[in-house]
């Protein structure tokens, strides 16, 4: 048994059992992939994959259990390498943070600027994606830290911590009639076309829930992934916008106005997430602490250590 065989088992499951794609991902040939699989099955004395002729259709029952162990072994192997780097090159390395556009654009700039002052030799890769992509990258070990409002706190394999709390606000063109509406109501908003986030992004479910619970039909005519797009089309007069209030900048958004809507929509929490058992370099803990000063290394380590749960069984 060797690490290449383990990588092939994991990648085959990830690539929907397409051996050509597995070979491309691991820089080897399809025939080489097949040979590694056959050698491992012969060594273990089990069939890992369900086959139909030469095609792989899925994992056998022992193959499913094997995949869990393979994922753990490869993850621990990466942890060992990261541990060595922590002590050999304390302030040099890579940090991958995956987040949504809203967080990258509005919540993280000050944190990242401060982090780069402290760790100028650390290459920080900021990857933007959907909440589901963020979770997947954390679970697959492709990212060290994930930041999002949705999804992160719902996954058992991810330790999550609150970053900050925020509310949605209503953005309208200057001089809009809703600026005279007091108190602002969902009924009044529903008289106008609404531009807001796509489903699954930046608290959209809470927006939909607020209208549904009030029995008000929202006329959502456009949805977007980020606040900049929402503001662009509100400024063009295509509707009113419901977006994260932190994304409004009165110095830049001079043709728009933000109406406080915290009485209409529930509070949102943006979370920081790391995969449980994932070894982080010291500068990664410092990044988290810059996001939320109460989250020091000891607190994050305690919450993300899976052995704590096993010891309590």
Cα 291 to Cα 164: distance, rounded to the nearest angstrom: 9
Q: Are residues 153 and 299 in the same domain?
A: yes
Do residue 255 and residue 177 come from a single domain? yes
* Residue 90 pLDDT grade (very low, low, confident, very high; cuts 50, 70, 90): low
Percent of the chain with pLDDT over 70: 94
Q: Is the pLDDT of residue 79 over 80?
A: no
Q: Is pLDDT above 70 for 86?
A: no
Domain that holds residue 207: 168-266
Quick one: pLDDT at residue 87? 62
Compute the average pLDDT of residues 61-82. Answer: 80
Rama region for 239: left / alpha / beta (φ>0; ψ in -120 to 50; rest) = left
> Does residue 80 surpass a pLDDT of 50?
yes
Domain shared by 227 and 160, yes or no: no
Residue 304 pLDDT > 90, yes or no?
no
> Is the pLDDT at 282 greater than 50, yes or no?
yes
Q: Which CATH number is 29's domain given?
A: 1.10.10.10
Picking from 60, 82, 104, the residue at the C-terminal end of a domain is 82
* Structure confidence at residue 313 (pLDDT): 39
pLDDT one-digit tens code per residue, 247-256: 999 999 999 9
Does 202 lie in the same domain as 132? no
pLDDT for 245 equals: 95
The more confidently predicted of residues 296 and 147 is 147
Q: What is the mean pLDDT of the chain?
A: 89
- Per the structure, the count of domains in the chain is 3
Cβ burial of 171 (10 Å; 0-12, 13-18, 19+) is buried
What is the rounded average pLDDT of the residues 72-96? 75
179: exposed, middle or buried (Cβ count in 10 Å: 0-12, 13-18, 19+): middle
* pLDDT value, residue 309: 46
Segment 147-203, tens digit of pLDDT: 999 999 999 999 999 999 999 999 999 999 999 999 999 999 999 999 999 998 889
For the chain, percent of residues with pLDDT exceeding 90: 58
**Alpha-carbon span 270 to 202, nearest angstrom:** 9
Among residues 49, 82, 115, which one ends one of the domains? 82
């Amino acid at each position: 048994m060797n690490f290449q065989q383990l990588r092939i088992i994991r990648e085959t499951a990830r690539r929907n059992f397409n051996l050509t794609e597995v070979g491309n991902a691991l820089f080897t040939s399809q025939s080489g992939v097949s040979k590694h699989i056959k050698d491992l099955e012969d060594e273990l004395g089990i069939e890992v994959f369900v086959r139909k002729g030469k095609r792989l259709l899925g994992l056998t029952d022992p193959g499913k259990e094997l995949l869990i162990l393979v994922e753990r072994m490869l993850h621990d192997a990466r942890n060992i390498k990261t541990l060595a780097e922590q002590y050999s090159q304390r302030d040099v390395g890579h940090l991958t943070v995956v987040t949504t556009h809203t967080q990258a654009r509005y919540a993280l700039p000050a944190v990242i600027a401060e982090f780069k002052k402290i760790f100028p030799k650390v290459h920080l890769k900021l990857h933007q994606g959907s909440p589901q992509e963020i979770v997947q990258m954390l679970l697959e070990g492709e990212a060290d830290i994930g930041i999002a409002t949705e999804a992160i706190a719902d996954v058992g394999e991810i330790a999550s911590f609150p970053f900050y709390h925020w509310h949605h606000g209503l953005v309208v063109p200057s001089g809009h009639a809703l600026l005279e509406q007091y108190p602002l109501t969902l009924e009044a908003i529903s008289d106008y076309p609404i531009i807001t986030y796509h489903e699954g992004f930046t608290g959209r479910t809470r927006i939909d829930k607020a209208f549904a619970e009030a029995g008000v039909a929202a006329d959502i005519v456009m949805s977007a992934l980020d606040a900049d797009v929402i503001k662009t089309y509100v400024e063009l007069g295509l509707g009113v916008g419901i977006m994260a209030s932190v994304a409004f900048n009165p110095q830049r958004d001079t043709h728009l106005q933000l109406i406080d809507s915290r009485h209409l929509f529930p509070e949102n929490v943006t979370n920081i997430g790391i995969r449980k058992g994932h070894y982080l370099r010291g500068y990664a803990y410092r990044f988290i602490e810059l996001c939320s000063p109460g989250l020091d290394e000891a607190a994050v380590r305690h919450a993300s250590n899976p052995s704590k749960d096993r010891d309590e069984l």
